[in-house]
Amino acid sequence: MHEFHSTFYAQEVIFGAGAVSGLREAVDRFGWQRLLLCTSRSLRQNGHAGRIESALDERHVATFERVLPHVPEAQVAEALALADEQRVDALVALGGGSAIGLAKALSLALERPRTDTTARDPLPTDQPKVPVVAIPTTYAGSEMTPVYGVTRDEPGAARKVTVTDPKVAPKLIIYDPALTLDLAPAVTAATGINALAHCIEALYSVTRNPLSSAAAREGVRHIARALPRCYAVGDDLEARTEMLVGAYLAGTALATVAMGLHHGLCHVLGGTAGVAHGVANSIMLPHAMRFNLDATAPQLALAAQAMGIMSDDPHAAAEEAIQRVYSLVGQLGLPQRLRDVGVAEADLPGLAQLALRSRAVQANPRPITDAAQVEAVLRAAW
């Protein structure tokens, strides 16, 4: 690769077991006074939400703890009313991609009434009025990116749409592996495969750059080694730490490149067919890799190498990597067919049509011009 164009965002990352104890000091340093916590019930039940509220102390003004998967638009409106009423100046997202996605959507919604600048394409140096602090507790990677998805109830079917704005890229990210020790095996597995998928799609992305490729390779290496250990023994702090490093690298790669077919399909399967994001990832990843095999064998071979597959033939290495991913998904007890997660065969043509409209599908390294190509991939996974 001899040409590239990449954008990075001003973000402070604090990583380490117990890192969350540094939250209050960081909030003071940034000067935020009135913070809203966005989280979900499971994080209330396991005590992590309470820990964050105590750490924020009087700076914590409210908690929205009914975060739902895929960020339904109605929920953004509900949380926005609370954020407005409390005149918040920063949002703390504790949880997976859903909590972080909701906080990003709120950040942008709160921005609009507080700025009088005319509409234009945002620049990477634009700073938010109401920034997001992300404390990720899954491996989905949203904490590093300037993107979020919301699900709109459109006539006939719900549709997940993505919004990109540098202002929503979280300004402070605290990775604390101790918060992931009680992440259930199924969520560990599914969001871990999501992180692996980010690395693989970053490696063959049409907009890859030297840093995204380096992060993605290293991400694959850590994830391939740590994910089975985290699944087998959830409270293995060393494995959880390595897995979170992998997720950080995956998120870093994801933040700077265009994704492809795999990502576009997972959004449609989530927003329209209601499949959990990580589960959609687990089913689709080997199929998307196979679809791209001939066009991207050298890049897939880099993923293979990071998994410990040694071969001088890139095509053979890539082929083995696809098998390895498929076996890993099975070993982690994740579903491997769309029919097993409630997707009806009759829905495949409609899902393919929707996916064809996605920016990610349009940016796939092997060009996709026809819904039939997408439908064939969905059928193979059905």
The residue ranges that bind ligand NAD (CB under 6 A) are 40, 42-43, 46, 69-71, 95-99, 101, 137-138, 140-142, 145, 147-149, 179-180, 182-183, 187, 191, 194, 254, 270, 277-278
Nearest-Å Rg of the Cα atoms of the chain is 20
The CA-based angle 23-25-26, given to 5 degrees, is 65
CB of 101 to ligand NAD, least distance (A): 5
Distance (Å, rounded) from C-alpha 78 to C-alpha 52? 22
Q: Which residue is nearest to ligand NAD (CB)?
A: 97
**Is 160 buried (19+), middle (13-18) or exposed (0-12) by CB count in 10 A?**
buried
Whichever of 138 and 364 has its CB closer to ligand NAD, that residue is 138
- The smaller minimum CB distance to ligand NAD, of residues 100 and 374, is found at 100
Residue placing its CB nearer to ligand NAD in the complex, 222 or 304: 222
We find the least distance from the C-beta atom of residue 94 to ligand NAD, in angstroms, to be 8
User: Closer to ligand NAD at the Cβ: 100 or 307?
Assistant: 100
Judged by beta carbon, residue 273 or residue 301, the one nearer ligand NAD is: 273
Sequence-ordered list of residues with C-beta below 8 angstroms from that of 175, at least 6 positions apart, any chain: 13, 14, 15, 16, 19, 136, 143, 244, 248
Note the Cα 154 to chain centre separation in Å. 24
Q: How far is the CB of 351 from ligand NAD (least distance, A)?
A: 16
Please tell me the number of Cα atoms within 13 Å of 205 on its side-chain side: 31
Tokens of 322: 């696809």
Minimal distance in Å, beta carbon 263 to ligand NAD? 9
- Measured from the CB of residue 348, what is the shortest distance to ligand NAD in angstroms? 20
Q: How far is the CB of 381 from ligand NAD (least distance, A)?
A: 18
Query: Residue 282: phi, psi to the nearest 5?
Result: -65, -40
User: Could you tell me the smallest distance in angstroms from the CB atom of residue 20 to ligand NAD?
Assistant: 12
Nearest to ligand NAD of 92, 254 (CB atom): 254
Please list the alpha-helical segments (H only) found in the chain.
23-30, 41-45, 48-56, 73-85, 97-114, 185-203, 210-232, 237-256, 261-271, 277-306, 314-331, 348-356, 359-362, 371-381
Q: How far is the CB of 134 from ligand NAD (least distance, A)?
A: 10
Q: Which is nearer to ligand NAD, 199 or 297 (CB)?
A: 199
Give per-residue burial for 178-208: e unless 16+ CB within 10 Å, then b: bbbbbbeeebbbbbbbbbbbbbbbbbbbeeb
CB 30 to ligand NAD: min, Å: 22
Query: Under DSSP, is residue 7 helix (H, G, I), strand (E, B) or coil?
Result: coil
Minimum CB–partner distance for residue 270 and ligand NAD (Å): 6
Residue 278 or 286 with smaller CB distance to ligand NAD: 278
SS3 161: strand
- CA dist., res. 289 & res. 280, Å (int): 14
Nearer to ligand NAD (CB atom), residue 18 or residue 308:
18
B/e letters for 240-253, b = 16+ CB within 10 Å, e = fewer, are bbbbbbbbbbbbbb
* Cβ-based nearer residue to ligand NAD, 69 or 350: 69
Indicate the SS3 state at residue 95.
Answer: strand
